[in-house]
């Protein structure tokens, strides 16, 4: 098979226009799903298509990743684009398109008004997958790995940013993809890089999460999906659970500061650690908290203790960065350097006492000439107040020169105002 044979043709199948890879008979979604399901090094072996290599696979991935099928008015089976184009907005709409939907063991059956029969592993699984998968998201992920290789398990961050092992952020059954994206952004802000998702409600991957991550897409792209709570924790030696509700459990209760200190100590000793966050609606169940080694509770207003998911992660992530001592006050670019806490003189030298005294003498002389110090017996205390006020501001040399220029302009005028005198 030659490189040219991997072109995409639009073929009519079952009342749908389908992007098909010429020479294979396969819908484009089948090839991309198969490529996504295996490590990038095993892709070409798994697909077993003669002549398929990095150069010939890339155009297929680009077609799907850029959703060029929209322009071609086509869609693949199993893709969410198909569900959207068929205007299937709810699970009831999906069922109505079929004559019957039966579980593989024959114990459950749904009926609709359509003309097709469908057999599924279970109806429970169908309720999570009926909307289809975001195949274009898979295509982008495979293309990125094809071009840039596989990131290490700690996540490859932008050049120059912090590296090293961090605790895994474990989200249990998150409900909104936007929240997952905002969690990814919070993690990137403060140097965390491993995100684990336990059965997210809206499926995974999800393009909304990448959009909400606002540039922290490497966190989202490398997030790992787990079918259940236990599997997400299986390789961890120490985990803490975050909660705002009181729990009747004999476990240590830690502040974020204490929790991060313990996590840092254990990670430095080579342990895999994690921080567990619950569902947006009701947080973690008590039986889930029972599996944690400690509970984390932040000091909050007792009458309004609940934080949203991204806020909760941000709070722990900030503490992680603070204790690392590696954070930067503000961004650092080619033209920007980190700020230092405290007064910012913008590169100007602090005014000397001689310069300050010269300014005071200048100001006081002009105020005396204008009759400001009345009655005269109050002059000493007023002078003290003026000098204390300006000294407290710790002006720079440049600022003292500016102040003296202001006094001079007020007395003698400047520009047109001076010429009129």
Residue-wise pLDDT for 231-253, tens only, equals 999 999 999 999 988 888 999 99
Higher-confidence residue: 383 or 144? 383
pLDDT category of residue 392 using cuts at 50, 70 and 90: very high
Percent of the chain at pLDDT exceeding 70: 88
Q: Look at 389 and 56; give whichever has higher pLDDT.
A: 389
pLDDT at residue 22 tops 50? yes
**pTM of the entire structure?**
0.53
In tens, the pLDDT along 148-206 reads 654 433 334 555 455 678 999 999 999 999 999 999 999 999 989 899 999 999 888 88
**Four-CA torsion 379, 382, 384, 387, nearest 10 degrees:** -120
| Domain 154-324 homologous superfamily, CATH | SPOUT methyltransferase, trefoil knot domain (3.40.1280.10)
| Band of pLDDT at residue 286, cut at 50, 70 and 90 | very high
| Chain position carrying tokens 């086509």 | 74
Spatial CB neighbours of 277, under 8 Å, sequence gap ≥ 6: 169, 170, 171, 172, 183, 242, 284, 309, 312, 313
- The string of pLDDT tens digits covering residues 34-68 is 988 888 778 888 888 888 888 888 899 999 988 99
- Domain layout of the chain by residue ranges: 1-88+131-150, 90-125, 154-324, 353-419
């Amino acid at each position: 098979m030659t490189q040219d044979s991997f072109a995409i043709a639009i073929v009519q199948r079952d009342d749908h226009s389908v992007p098909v890879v010429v020479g294979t008979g396969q819908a484009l979604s089948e090839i991309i799903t198969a490529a996504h399901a295996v490590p990038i090094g095993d892709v070409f072996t798994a697909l077993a298509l003669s002549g398929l290599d990095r150069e010939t696979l890339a155009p297929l991935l680009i077609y799907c990743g850029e959703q060029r099928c929209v322009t071609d008015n086509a869609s693949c089976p199993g893709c969410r684009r198909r569900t959207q184009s068929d205007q299937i907005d709810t699970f009831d709409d999906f069922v109505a398109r079929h004559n019957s939907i039966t579980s593989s063991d024959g114990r459950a059956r749904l009926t609709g008004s359509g003309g097709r029969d469908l057999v599924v592993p279970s109806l429970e699984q169908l309720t999570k997958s009926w909307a289809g998968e975001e195949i274009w998201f898979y295509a982008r992920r495979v293309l990125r790995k094809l071009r840039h290789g596989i990131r290490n398990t700690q996540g490859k961050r932008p050049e120059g940013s912090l590296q090293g092992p961090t605790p895994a952020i474990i989200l249990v059954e998150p409900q909104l993809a936007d929240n997952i994206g905002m969690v990814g952004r919070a993690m990137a802000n403060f140097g965390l890089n491993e995100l684990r998702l336990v059965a997210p409600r809206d499926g995974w991957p999800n393009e909304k999460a990448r959009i909400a991550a606002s540039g922290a897409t490497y966190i989202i792209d490398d997030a790992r999906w787990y079918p259940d709570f236990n599997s997400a924790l299986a390789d961890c030696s120490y985990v803490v659970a975050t909660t705002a509700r009181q729990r009747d459990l004999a476990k240590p209760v830690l502040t974020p500061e204490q929790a991060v200190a313990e996590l840092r100590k254990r990670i430095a000793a080579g342990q895999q650690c994690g921080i567990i966050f619950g569902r947006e609606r009701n947080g973690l169940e008590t039986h889930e908290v029972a599996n944690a080694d400690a509970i984390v509770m932040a000091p909050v207003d007792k009458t309004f203790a609940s934080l949203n998911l991204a806020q909760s992660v941000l709070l722990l992530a900030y503490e992680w960065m603070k204790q690392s001592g590696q954070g930067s006050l503000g961004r650092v670019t080619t033209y920007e350097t980190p700020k230092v806490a405290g007064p910012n003189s913008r590169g100007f030298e602090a005014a000397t006492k001689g310069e300050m005294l010269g300014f005071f003498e200048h100001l006081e002389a002009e105020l005396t000439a204008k009759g400001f110090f009345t009655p005269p017996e109050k002059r000493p205390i007023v002078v003290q107040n003026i000098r204390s006020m300006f000294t407290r501001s710790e002006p720079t040399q440049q600022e003292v020169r500016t102040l003296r220029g202001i006094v001079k302009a007020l007395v003698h005028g400047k520009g047109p105002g001076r010429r009129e005198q």
